[in-house]
Amino acid sequence: MAGVSGMSSIQAQQTQVQGIFTCVDARGRKLTSDRPIPECTDREQKVLNPSGTVRTKVGPTLTVQERAEQEARDKAELEDRTRLIEEKRRERALLIRYPNKIVHDKERAEALVQIGVVRQAAVNRVEELLRQRSALNDEMEFYKKDPSKAPPALRRQVDEVNQSLAVQGRFIADQDGELRRVNSRFDEELVRLQQLWAKHSAAPGATGKTR
């Protein structure tokens, strides 16, 4: 039987199988042993029963680099499986929330209305500020030749109105951006939902309508 003096502790730990080990080494020799064969750590070894039948097979021992590569592959496969499971979960949640286009369109409209209400309030405020500024400008006409002679309170009111107009202008711009973002999200969602609705309606026994 082949010697076992060259077998590492790692190899011994990896293969705790009882039986008769047999393999053909790189030189073409058929070897047998009562434990894993060091000369065949780079190839498959058969483990035989006392009767000579094959009980199991032991794969080649991996190097440190090979183990790292295998672990990386296993990790990538696990991440892919996890991603697919999460994607399926999101798809189910999406179909439950939006069983058809009518429901999806309704929620889009409601979201846009909410933003529109907030935006309109800002527009109304701008109109009010413009009226205030117009009245203040009329007062400032008396000091047109030398604005520095205008009362401090009047100049302060003009500055405050201009600052408020700038703030409201930025707020309205933000709301316009939010309208675009909401529409974009619903558009992207609708593309995916149309695929899911089509798949769901084509499934055996499906009776739901997506219109």
What are the CA-CA distances from residue 66 to residues 60, 72, 73, 121 (Å)? Answer: 11, 10, 10, 65
**CA proximity to 119, closest of 183, 166, 168, 172:** 172
Please report the DSSP string for 118-185 in residue order: HHHHHHHHHHHHHHHHHHHHHHHGGGSS-GGGS-HHHHHHHHHHHHHHHHHHHHHHHHHHHHHHHHHH
Q: What is the pLDDT of residue 9?
A: 40
Q: What is the pLDDT of residue 63?
A: 75
Predicted local distance difference test score (pLDDT) of residue 11: 45
CB 47 within 8 A of CB 56: yes
- pLDDT recorded at residue 103: 97
Which pLDDT score is estimated for 99? 95
For residues 15 and 58, is the Cβ–Cβ distance under 8 A? yes
The residues spanned by each domain of the chain are 9-58, 64-97, 100-202
pLDDT tens for 37-49 read 989 988 899 999 9
CA 68 – CA 57 distance, rounded (Å): 22
- Which residues in the chain land under pLDDT 70? 1-17, 203-211
Q: Helix, strand or coil for residue 42?
A: coil
pLDDT for 207: 55
pLDDT at 147: 86
Q: What does the pLDDT read at residue 12?
A: 43
Helix (H, G, I), strand (E, B) or coil at 54: strand
Q: How confident is the model at residue 19, as a pLDDT?
A: 84
Exposed/middle/buried for residue 79 (C-beta within 10 Å: 0-12, 13-18, 19+): exposed
Per-residue pLDDT, 17:
57
CA distances from 14 to 9, 19, 20, 40, 67 (A): 9, 15, 16, 14, 12
